[in-house]
Structure 1
Amino acid sequence: MTLRQAPDQEAAATEDGTRRVRDRLRAASLTPFGLYGAAVLRIGVAGLFLLNLLREAGHADRLWGPGSPYTPDLFRASVEARGADGRMSWWYTWLGTQSPDYFWAAYVLAVAVSVPYLLGWHTRLMAVLFAFVVAGFHMRSAVAASGFELLSLLFANYLVLCASGRRWSLDARRAARAIPGPVTPYEELRRRVVTVLHNAGMALIAFQVMVVYGTAALYKIRGSTWRDGSALHYALRLDDFATFPELSHWLAAQGSGMALLAYVTVASQLLFPVTVFIPRLKYAVLVVTLGTHLGIGLLMALPMFSAITVVGDLVFLPTSFWLRAARAARAARAARAARAARAARLLGWPRSKRQ
């Protein structure tokens, strides 16, 4: 290569880089990424929030209502002390009430919003209402939260941006039956805006999950018990958080195994923001984090926190994974239906009208 050719090659490389960036930006405005992941996240977040509401129905007043030790007066005072009582404070303080009737109406509203959002009915509207409901319930339980409430709030807010009703929803079924109309310039602009917002929302969700794991690992590294490998031993000996005390105590006695598991946990969380973008390592690290949260949910009586974290992890699974899972589910249903039909024929059902 001569000195005269060098500037030409450098200019060509710069042009190629600019073209690639331009093509990626154009794709981000034309192609919505992770539609199945967004649908799974919508179903998971709404389903877990609804499950938590119904599970605590008998204690709802003590958790979120006027009967809570975190009284409405104390709630408002704490909001004012944090300087969070601005013009938009009604968005997250609307559940601070002294009226039992108002509270139970709000509880029924939360259930009534969660169900259609879970099913993907008028998803755009329900996403906003769901975020509003989750914000109110999160603020009322802020002093007795396990992390489930905060992650639910964050995911619900990000999902407002996402087109989470494009797949596995009643909206998707209705759209499949609709007759497509002409694509006007306004419709094209609307599609592009929706696509950009959706991709931004999915990127925020992925970034939030990476921040959760990265900060969790950094906090663990600062602790001496995580550095010497004894953290899980002490955690499993906390009877207040033990679902199965005998099993927890037996596991705590496995010193070398628990130390190795502690180091694997920290390493997987610390490397999570990098490894999820490496195809050969992504599934391995997701399996490790899934096992970690299953252990937390089963052994430390934190099932809702573990479940919402697992739901967040699912956003990193590609569309091909969900398509294969859907095909496997359809094949399993077809096989089950075939077995039922074969059993019915063997039993002679349905019988003829003469019989």
Structure 2
Amino acid sequence: MRIGLGLILLFNWLMIYTDLEVLFGPDGIVSLQTAQQYGNPLRFSLFDYMPNSYKVTATIAFVHLLAVLALTFGAWTRMSILIAFVTLTSFHHRNGFIMNSADSVLRVFLFLLLFTPSGDAFSIDRWRLRLKGKAPEVPAEKAPWALRMIQIQFCIIYIATVLFKIKGDRWVDGTAVYIATRLDDFVRFELPILNNMVLIKYITWSTLLVEFALGTLVWVKELRYWVLLAGVGLHLGIEFTMSIPVFEWAMIVVMISMVDSRDIDRWIQKLQEYRRSRTKHPEPATT
């Protein structure tokens, strides 16, 4: 999950850097004073404590990039996550008018990732410890309370989404997807198949069902991976048809937190056994 979140943060950084001066610079579309006046009273941003100049903006962006690269590769992992979280939050509170749900997802799960031992595997930190002989061959199991926080937050997002959607008429009567696919600013391309109202209703209600399952039934062991598979399909479908950068991929990455590592070990073992069986009993050659 750490690596996936890091890759998404790198892509997010590229989007920020493309319009860095316009969106976050001292002469950008939103001044620092406006951000301070209309922002959350409890907001925190490094921009509030530094000179209001483009040099500062570029420096914070560069520090954020270094932190994201470090957490992706697992170098000084916990400190890297903390710095990435602080710098990301600083940008979000510098110009909150352009933020969306994807930004909230990145910020929240980056904060929760801080409390996990995410640098114990697939990281430079572990590689350094292995060289010194200070790390076991298999990372030691640790209390999963931080992982549980991530999982609970993951489910809360979907439960809150369903509760919010069913308050209105469009999701209940099955026309919400029809309306969403008519928003020119978000639709990637027109799909004639989405003119079929029977299909539209099926997709709309199926979306609610999958989101409800992701918030509840994902805890049922026998159903978990079917629910996650449906969730991945849902988000890939949205990504294919609509231009909503980052959010879909962020939620897919967070789904990794719901996968039991013991199941992964079993899958790998079964794959290895299958490959060995194919090696012992090769298919006969055909002439």
User: What TM-score, normalized to structure 1?
Assistant: 0.69
Match of residue 235, structure 1, among 160, 175, 180: 180
For the residues of structure 1 that align with 2:154 and 2:28, how far apart are their CA atoms? Answer: 31
Matched residue, 1:206: 151
Matched residue, 2:218: 276
* Coordinate RMSD, CA, aligned: 2.6
Contact 2:210 2:231 in 1 (8 A): yes
For the residues of structure 2 that align with 1:130 and 1:327, how far apart are their CA atoms? Answer: 36
Which runs of 4 or more aligned residues in structure 1 lie more than 6 Å from their structure 2 counterparts after TM superposition?
Answer: 324-330
Q: How far apart are residue 313 of structure 1 and its match?
A: 1.4
Larger Rg: 1
Q: How far apart are residue 111 of structure 1 and its match?
A: 0.7
SS class of match (2:166): helix
Render the CA deviation track for 1:160-213: whole Å, top value 9, x for unaligned. Answer: 1110001111112222333249xxxxxxxxxx9x944xx221111111110100
User: 5+ unaligned residues in a row in structure 1: which ranges?
Assistant: 1-39, 182-191, 331-355
User: 5+ unaligned residues in a row in structure 2: which ranges?
Assistant: 273-287
For the residues of structure 1 that align with 2:57 and 2:265, how far apart are their CA atoms? Answer: 42
Contact 1:293 1:306 in 2 (8 A): yes
Are 1:144 and 2:98 an aligned pair? yes
Matched residue, 1:66: 26
Match of residue 246, structure 2, among 304, 312, 333: 304
For the residues of structure 2 that align with 1:328 and 1:300, how far apart are their CA atoms? Answer: 37
Amino acid at match of 1:262: T
For the residues of structure 1 that align with 2:115 and 2:203, how far apart are their CA atoms? Answer: 37
Match of residue 84, structure 2, among 130, 135, 141: 130
Contact 1:119 1:170 in 2 (8 A): yes
Are 1:118 and 2:78 an aligned pair? no
Contact 2:119 2:126 in 1 (8 A): yes
Are 1:163 and 2:121 an aligned pair? no
Structure having greater relative contact order (Cα 8 Å, sep ≥ 6): 1
Q: 1:61 to 1:327 in 2, by over 3 A?
A: farther
Match of residue 94, structure 1, among 34, 46, 65: 46
User: What TM-score, normalized to structure 2?
Assistant: 0.85
Q: How far apart are residue 153 of structure 1 and its match?
A: 0.7
For the residues of structure 1 that align with 2:250 and 2:94, how far apart are their CA atoms? Answer: 19
Identical-residue share of aligned pairs (%): 22
Matched residue, 2:282: none
Q: How far apart are residue 234 of structure 1 and its match?
A: 0.8
SS class of match (2:115): coil
For the residues of structure 2 that align with 1:302 and 1:64, how far apart are their CA atoms? Answer: 21
Matched residue, 2:171: 226
Q: 1:50 to 1:328 in 2, by over 3 A?
A: farther
Q: 1:329 to 1:153 in 2, by over 3 A?
A: farther
SS class of match (2:153): helix
Q: How far apart are residue 321 of structure 1 and its match?
A: 4.5
Contact 1:48 1:308 in 2 (8 A): yes
For the residues of structure 2 that align with 1:152 and 1:329, how far apart are their CA atoms? Answer: 33
Q: How far apart are residue 124 of structure 1 and its match?
A: 1.9
For the residues of structure 2 that align with 1:329 and 1:303, how far apart are their CA atoms? Answer: 34
Amino acid at match of 1:176: R
For the residues of structure 2 that align with 1:143 and 1:124, how far apart are their CA atoms? Answer: 30
SS class of match (1:313): helix
Amino acid at match of 2:41: G
SS class of match (1:43): helix
Corresponding residue pairs, total: 268
Are 1:49 and 2:14 an aligned pair? no
For the residues of structure 2 that align with 1:133 and 1:178, how far apart are their CA atoms? Answer: 32
Matched residue, 1:261: 203
Amino acid at match of 2:33: D
Amino acid at match of 1:215: A
Q: 1:325 to 1:144 in 2, by over 3 A?
A: farther
Higher share in helix:
1
Contact 1:114 1:130 in 2 (8 A): yes
For the residues of structure 1 that align with 2:11 and 2:56, how far apart are their CA atoms? Answer: 21
